[in-house]
Amino acid sequence: MFRNLGAYLEALERRGELKRVKVPVSSDLEITEIADRMVKRGGPALLFERVVGKDFPVAIGLFGTRERTAFALGVGDLDELSEKVSRLLELKPGRGGISALMGLLPKLPLLKGFFPKRVAKAPVQEVVLKGEAVDLNRLPILKCWPLDGGPFLTLPLVITQDPETGELNLGMYRMQVLDKRSTAMHWQLHKVGRRHLEKARRLGKKLPVAVALGGDPVLTYAATAPLPPLPGVSEFHLAGFLRGAPIELVRGVTVDLPVPAEAEFVLEGYIDPEEPLVVEGPFGDHTGFYTPEDLYPRFHVTAITHRKGAIYPATIVGMPPMEDAYLIEASERLFLPPLRLVLPEVADYHMPPEGVAHNWVNVALKKEYPGQAYKVAYGMLGLGQMMFAKVIVAVDADVPVRPGFATLLKALEHALPGRDTLFLRGPIDVLDHSARAFAFGGKLLIDGTRKLPEEGGEVPWAPRVHTELPQDPEALAQRQWPGVWGITLRKARPGQAWALAERLLQTPASAGIRLLLLADHDTALTPEELLWAVLNNIDPERDARVMAGVEGPVLVLDGTRKLPEEGFHRVWPERIRMDERIKALVESRWEEYGL
């Protein structure tokens, strides 16, 4: 448990996991480039003490490694989160009455801290700014990537209350600064905050909103967690359960909402559902691509409160690995025991970073009957945010689900393309740019479990890697792994990827191959980048085909950019890349930063 962000930073510094940057740096791209380099090399968190033209320092990389995320959440390893929830959910069949109540007594210490604590005074209200004194430009809010529409708050804890039921929600939604006293609020189609706003609209009311920054890092994590809708339970309860001590809440100064007493900042205000929506974006998102401009509600800031000596917390998202991958893994571990309550045959699951959360899920199951892998996949697709999963790969319980590429290779040993692959349709993350339509698209299930006789049995297959690959003028780069063939091309005409695949699959190099991945010319042929690019750029029902190779069927995924001539009429976004001048600046100043 850390009382606040300052206590956490002190603990990181004692562990040698915090570096202070004492020279002036810019919140416009420069901090992003430094932080991106640091997280990709597994380096320490950073505290930028002097941000040009701003009044507060910036802390970033708070969850920058798996080990640091575990430390932030008060455990030695993220797997301990599963153990903690398992103890709480352990059921004793057949118990009832007094026996059942007595069985709950040993679990009560696990709920220590579950209920938030209301306080009258709070450090976050040591300084109160209202009216003309409100100026978001004083905060070192980052412009993360060159094509971003402006500065964005990237670790905001957004607090709203259901206008009808009074249920609280704490969510994390990016917020673009529009002017000194307003931001856009990125409430996507499926988000709870959006539902609260729609209810306020029907009731003819403005929706009060509070946005906290900082506090115990457990609270920041809780705002990202896919908490199921449980009456009377909010992310404040989850954070208290994880930290073993209640979250202290104080009433806002200008809004009747509870806010974290130990936060660094709180932005208070409202959203008027009758106001016109505002243009938000572009934003370099966790997918590694820019999400284009769209319309979202405007958040009006009526007050800023902060503690004396406040520190502004931030994160960046983009091409993995980024620190959001470790927050996602924390949620995996936390929600594995509840998943097993619904699907008891699940041994483990993992969302590899290359899949940027929803694009790829590996699941291992204790298989007992034919078709069980599909039953598990269908069940997972019906659970909360798992409905957005695009590709689910099922393996047997004795196969590790991480690292993702190794799991995929094992799955291919037992997955005959066509027979053991299945296409579905369903909801898709609104940030997915390749789906056939906004928030709706195809899904792919790959059954990589050992096949029972009723499923057709095992098909003999020897995965191969060929040293001699065919020379095709449109294949810019090629690489093979056991059973997998990766190819890049410069997309210039409709159907080009399929024609290239057909030519190459007729060559001897397709022997022992079950998966062919096609990507654009700017994709590096490492397993991580290739899978990241392909999974981002496919709608499986449209972009996956089973084609003939010289030794059998091959699953082909066309992960190239889609053209209007191919029937694709949505905006195809730019891939996130840092400005070369900023990269050169950071390179030249690296020793000056003290890193």
As annotated, the active-site residues are 285
Integer Cα distance of 228 and 445 in angstroms: 24
Kindly list the distances between the CA atom of residue 465 and the CA atoms of 158, 283, 478, 485, 507, in Å, as whole numbers in the listed order. Answer: 50, 39, 12, 8, 13
Are the C-beta atoms of 198 and 43 separated by less than 8 Å?
no
Alpha helices (runs of H) in 228-323, residue ranges in sequence order = 235-243
DSSP-assigned beta bridge partners for residue 559: 519
Under 8 Å between Cβ of 296 and 284: no
499: which residues sit within 8 A by CB, 6+ positions away? none
The Cα 427–Cα 178 span in angstroms is 31
Please give the Cα distance from 183 to 271 (Å, whole number): 10
Helices 324-342, 217-224: crossing angle, 10 deg rounding: 60
Segments of 272-367 assigned E as strands:
278-280, 283-284, 290-291, 294-296, 298-306, 312-314, 346-350, 360-365
* C-alpha neighbours within 13 Å on the C-beta side of residue 216: 26
Question: What are the tokens at 206?
Answer: 């403005």
Q: How far apart are CA 497 and CA 519, in angstroms?
A: 9
Q: Are 412 and 406 in contact (CB under 8 A)?
A: no
* Count of Cβ atoms closer than 10 Å to residue 565 Cβ: 9
Nearest to 288 by CA among 495, 519, 70: 519
- What are residue 523's DSSP bridge partners? none
Contact 470, 507 (CB under 8 A): yes
> Which residue type is seen at 191?
K
Give Cβ neighbours of residue 414 (< 8 Å, ≥ 6 apart). Answer: 395, 396, 420, 447, 448, 449, 450, 451, 458
205: left (phi over 0), alpha (psi -120 to 50) or beta: beta
Q: Position of tokens 């003939």?
A: 548
Dig out the tokens for 432 from the structure. Answer: 């997915």
